[in-house]
Amino acid sequence: MRITCILLLVFLTSSKLIAQTYQIKGKVVDRKNNTIPFANILLLQASDSTFVQGTSADDSGQFLLSEVKPNIYLLQASYVGRGSEPRALDIKNDVSLGALIIPLDENVLDEVVVTSQRPKLQRLSDRLVFSVENTVVSQGSSWDILKSTPGVIVNQSELQIRGQSATVYLNDRKVQLSGQEVRDLLEGLSGTNIKSVEVIANPPAQYDADGGPILNIVTSKNIIPGYKGSVNGSYTQAIFPKFTLGTSHYYKTEKLNLFANYNISPKKEIRKAVKGINFMDANENVFSNWDTYYDQTARSKAQNASLIIDYDFDDSNSLNLTTNLAINPDWERATNLNTQIRNGQSQLDSTLITRNLENVDNTNLAVDLSYVHKLKKPGAKLSFNGHYTYFDGTSNQNLFSSYADGGGSLLRNFGFDTDSDQDIQIITGQADYATPIGDASIETGVKLSSIASKNSIDFLNFIGSDNNVNATLSDRFNYDENVYAGYFSFVRNWEKWSMKLGLRGELTKATGTSLTLNEVNTVDFFEPFPSVYLLYSPSEKHSFAFDYGRNVDRPKYNDLNPFRVFFNENDFEEGNPGLRPSFSNNFNFNYTFNSELFFDFYYRDNGENIAYFVFQDNIDQTLVEVKQNVLESKSYGIDLTLSKSIASFWFLYAYTSLFHEEETFLAAESNNQVYTNSVDGAYALLANYLTLSKDGTFTGEVTMTYLSKFLFGSYVSDDQLNLTLGLRKSLFKDRITISLAAEDILEKYVPTYRSRYLNQDNFYRRRPETQFIRFGLTYNFGNFKLTDNQREIDKKERERLQTDQ
């Protein structure tokens, strides 16, 4: 009995010792003993340097690692590409370290103010990381940061990388907005919470093959419990005044993160444009010239609400629920079109005056649920995701035209109404598995997505008649698509090399049915999408990288609808249900010197790319805008980036891109002749970021961008120039932030797009409100230094939702 009790006591004692865990705390400083906030802390196995756990230092450089099991470890701190010497620790009890020292460059941390750090560029195997945390660049908005990111071109408020539209992510969650809505969102998101921006020109296998380059905004992390909130607003004076108003609230406990956000942005905007068409006869002589002047006023009351809940059941299991509701009720657009029609001798022949009224209601609801389970093996995890999107859009149009002769006498009237509806539902499910294998790691997963789109349009209430518009244009169109995908990727790092290999396969089955026309278009294919990334760093100052990837571009849902949307009866957009997915092959070679000078060489075979075309019918004298697959397309170029601190208060960022783009297509209104449209162009950006006060609370920005000729389907644009100025001031220890910005100061940011080839000769020049002055104010309350869990829903299927607002 005594022996039994002794054995039981020994067993219980040893079990307690085995279950005992400890904590490690310390501080991160540089060589001059300046604290380094938000440094990364890594705990590694001493035997093979595999990852055990990690955390981040707080804003005072302090860190804490808890629940550390007894063992021998290596502890290391890192910050913007620099690391401390690994420290060996034999954990048998709680450990309190003096400090971990990171040997930063002297100009990385400033003795007066932390915001004078310079941004840092780091080349990884599959992406470029632009670290901006606690730098002068971060003192602007998230939109300002993206405009300053290497490789990013801003063209007509669109973010592009190497001529392709970029998709914006927040913490690996896609921003589910488009165009001006993305810009409005990012201009309201403070850059002070941004840690870095990842430029993924060639997305790896774990991302959907559908889509182009990615800009992923990574926010800072903080583990302090508490509550914070903010209210923000902006006033913009352009031709019409505009304002935005929003509020955000964030609450965190040990297990729960809760984020709620709401904003509203009523707008009244005026957009002026001019279109010109030279209609030609068979000998390409101009027999009629049409000049149309657009005077458009749009009113909107867009509202957006988000709710995000993160719950950690324990250290191994977590759940996330993300919901977003975007509504745009009673969006109105009134367009007056005044067309002057002249004969071949430039004499006024007749006039066409059109009043086009549109009213749109859109509702976009998204729900995303994710579950992550960390396995016993350090770094290994299973994750599951389910997603649902419901989009409903209704629109009504009233169009009325009056024709008059050259003397102003009325010839005839014509008018009609349209009612249209679009109902889209998206359901996706995904499972992923990741695990380290020695000094390497693998990721694999499967995904299923199902899309159902139902669309209708009715033409009714005709006044008079016209050859181009009648009731037979009414239609019902259904589109159903299922995509089954799986991927595998392998990552390994050793000495001076880094490698990432990936393979993704996607099986696509889709059917588009026009019920009225009794036409069916089907798509059925399986395609592999390989990717390769190699990085070689022979020294700290030099690195070389190569990557290759294959992608697919699927049509937007609206572009597939075989409907006509009229500006007037001679000028309209038309959907194309025959659009096919296009496949591209992307090759990139990069060289980096001292993390300041970057050279990028790229070549992209775009295949049968989906492009925007405008064709004039010289017989019926009409102009139609349509999406069409080209026969072949390619682009190549060289990018040069320089980022350097000129002085402690002045950071300079310069980016230049020289590129060639070309597309070969069938000229639909030129006897289907094969024609190649090409352009050699240049883009340049020069940004100056200034710290105007010793405490870093007053900053400024002077930025100039230039874009020469640019290819846009059948159009080629002329050059455009944009000069912007900005000032930002933080008050009361960042409780209040005010900003002032002036855009398009020289009024040269509106290009002309011209299409001139074979028997086609037309142009357009739009003039939106690009020139404005904007005043912004943000008030933070609660423990406002907390970093929230704000994110967006990452679904490529939602990206193909498209609206005109």
Q: Residues 6 or more apart from 539 whose CB is under 8 A from it? A: none
Among the listed ranges 74-88, 143-157, 485-499, 552-566, which one has the minimum average pLDDT value? 143-157
Give the C-alpha separation, 599 to 481, whole Å.
41
Tell me, letter by letter, the H, E, C secondary structure of 602-621.
EEEECCCCEEEEEEEECCCC
Token code pair at residue 353: 């005056």
Give one word for 171, left, alpha or beta, with left for phi > 0 and alpha for psi -120 to 50. left
Token code pair at residue 208: 């959907």
Residue 135 has pLDDT above 50, yes or no: yes
Residue 217 bridge partners (DSSP): 170, 197
Q: Provide the residue count of the chain.
A: 805
In this prediction, residue 337 has a pLDDT band, given cuts at 50, 70 and 90, of very high
In this prediction, residue 349 has a pLDDT band, given cuts at 50, 70 and 90, of very high
Token code pair at residue 742: 């002036």
* Residue 709 neighbours by CB distance under 10 Å: 15
In this prediction, residue 110 has a pLDDT band, given cuts at 50, 70 and 90, of very low
Whole-angstrom distance between the N-terminal and C-terminal Cα of the chain? Answer: 84
pLDDT one-digit tens code per residue, 489-543: 998 888 888 898 999 999 999 999 998 878 899 999 999 999 999 989 898 788 8
Please give the C-alpha separations between residue 775 and each of 521, 740, 784, in angstroms, as whole numbers: 50, 5, 22
Give the C-alpha separation, 451 to 519, whole Å.
20
Give me the mean pLDDT over the 691-719 stretch.
Answer: 88
698 residue type, one letter: F
Q: Residues 6 or more apart from 405 whose CB is under 8 A from it? A: 349, 350, 411
Give me the mean pLDDT over the 737-762 stretch.
Answer: 90
Among the listed ranges 12-26, 122-136, 297-311, 389-403, which one has the minimum average pLDDT value? 12-26
Residue 210 has pLDDT above 90, yes or no: no
Q: In this predicted structure, what is the pLDDT of residue 516?
A: 81
Among the listed ranges 349-353, 567-571, 683-687, 755-759, which one has the minimum average pLDDT value? 683-687
Do residues 194 and 168 lie in contact, with contact meaning Cβ atoms separated by under 8 Å?
Answer: no
Q: In this predicted structure, what is the pLDDT of residue 568?
A: 94
Q: In this predicted structure, what is the pLDDT of residue 106?
A: 40
Token code pair at residue 362: 């859109």
Among the listed ranges 5-19, 229-243, 310-324, 627-641, which one has the minimum average pLDDT value? 5-19
Residue 17 has pLDDT above 50, yes or no: no
Give the CA-trace dihedral at 697, 31, 652, 202, to 10 degrees.
-110
Report the percentage of the chain scoring pLDDT > 70. Answer: 84
Strands 22-29 and 100-101 turn out to be parallel
Please give the C-alpha separations between residue 591 and each of 123, 203, 234, 600, in angstroms, as whole numbers: 9, 19, 41, 7
507, containing H or E segment: strand 497-514
- Number of Cα atoms under 13 Å in the Cβ half of residue 563: 23
- For tokens 């420290």, name the residue: 87
Q: In this predicted structure, what is the pLDDT of residue 111?
A: 32
Q: In this predicted structure, what is the pLDDT of residue 2?
A: 45
For residue 62, the Cα-to-chain-centroid distance in whole angstroms is 34
Report the percentage of the chain scoring pLDDT > 90. Answer: 38
Residue 6 has pLDDT above 50, yes or no: no
Burial letters 164-187, b for 16+ CB under 10 A, else e: bebbbbbeebbbbbbebbbbbbbb
Residue 705 has pLDDT above 70, yes or no: yes
Residue 1 has pLDDT above 60, yes or no: no
In this prediction, residue 464 has a pLDDT band, given cuts at 50, 70 and 90, of very high
Do residues 398 and 566 lie in contact, with contact meaning Cβ atoms separated by under 8 Å?
Answer: no
Do residues 756 and 715 lie in contact, with contact meaning Cβ atoms separated by under 8 Å?
Answer: no
Please give the C-alpha separations between residue 369 and each of 385, 445, 787, in angstroms, as whole numbers: 6, 17, 21
Q: Residues 6 or more apart from 492 whose CB is under 8 A from it? A: 439, 440, 441, 498, 499
Q: In this predicted structure, what is the pLDDT of residue 115?
A: 37
Closest CA to 285 of 228, 345, 195, 327: 345
The dihedral sign for the CA sequence 51, 57, 62, 67 = negative
Among the listed ranges 50-54, 643-647, 754-758, which one has the minimum average pLDDT value? 50-54
Give the C-alpha separation, 534 to 499, whole Å.
5
pLDDT one-digit tens code per residue, 269-307: 998 999 999 999 999 899 999 999 999 999 988 888 888
Q: In this predicted structure, what is the pLDDT of residue 617?
A: 95
In this prediction, residue 104 has a pLDDT band, given cuts at 50, 70 and 90, of low
Token code pair at residue 453: 């789109």
Closest CA to 41 of 91, 124, 102: 102
Catalogue the E-assigned strands of 630-759.
632-647, 650-667, 673-691, 698-707, 710-712, 715-717, 720-731, 736-743, 753-757
DSSP states of 533-547 as a string?
Answer: EEEE-SSSSEEEEEE
DSSP 406: T
DSSP 115: G
585 residue type, one letter: N
Give me the mean pLDDT over the 304-332 stretch.
Answer: 89
In this prediction, residue 653 has a pLDDT band, given cuts at 50, 70 and 90, of confident
Give the C-alpha separation, 168 to 181, whole Å.
12
Give me the mean pLDDT over the 609-622 stretch.
Answer: 93
Give the C-alpha separation, 126 to 535, whole Å.
8
Give the CA-trace dihedral at 793, 799, 804, 805, to 10 degrees.
20
| Phi, then psi, of 763 in degrees rounded to 5 | -150, 165
Do residues 745 and 724 lie in contact, with contact meaning Cβ atoms separated by under 8 Å?
Answer: yes
Give one word for 747, left, alpha or beta, with left for phi > 0 and alpha for psi -120 to 50. left
DSSP states of 430-459 as a string?
Answer: EEEEEEEETTEEEEEEEEEEEEEEEEEEEE
Q: What value does the mean pLDDT of the chain take?
A: 83
Do residues 291 and 337 lie in contact, with contact meaning Cβ atoms separated by under 8 Å?
Answer: no
Residue 520 bridge partners (DSSP): 513
Q: In this predicted structure, what is the pLDDT of residue 433?
A: 95
Please give the C-alpha separations between residue 364 and each of 114, 361, 419, in angstroms, as whole numbers: 41, 10, 20
Give the C-alpha separation, 288 to 249, whole Å.
60
pLDDT one-digit tens code per residue, 174-200: 665 555 556 656 665 656 567 788 888
Token code pair at residue 61: 């450089």
14, containing H or E segment: helix 2-19
Please give the C-alpha separations between residue 127 and each of 205, 207, 213, 545, 547, in angstroms, as whole numbers: 13, 13, 10, 10, 10
pLDDT one-digit tens code per residue, 405-436: 988 999 999 999 999 999 999 999 999 999 98
Among the listed ranges 642-651, 681-690, 742-751, which one has the minimum average pLDDT value? 642-651
Residue predicted with more confidence, 141 or 750: 750
Do residues 104 and 692 lie in contact, with contact meaning Cβ atoms separated by under 8 Å?
Answer: no
Give one word for 59, left, alpha or beta, with left for phi > 0 and alpha for psi -120 to 50. alpha
Residue 262 has pLDDT above 70, yes or no: yes
- For tokens 């297509």, name the residue: 665
Burial letters 76-103, b for 16+ CB under 10 A, else e: bbbbbbbebebeebebeeebeeebbbbe
Give the C-alpha separation, 271 to 290, whole Å.
20
Residue 253 has pLDDT above 50, yes or no: yes
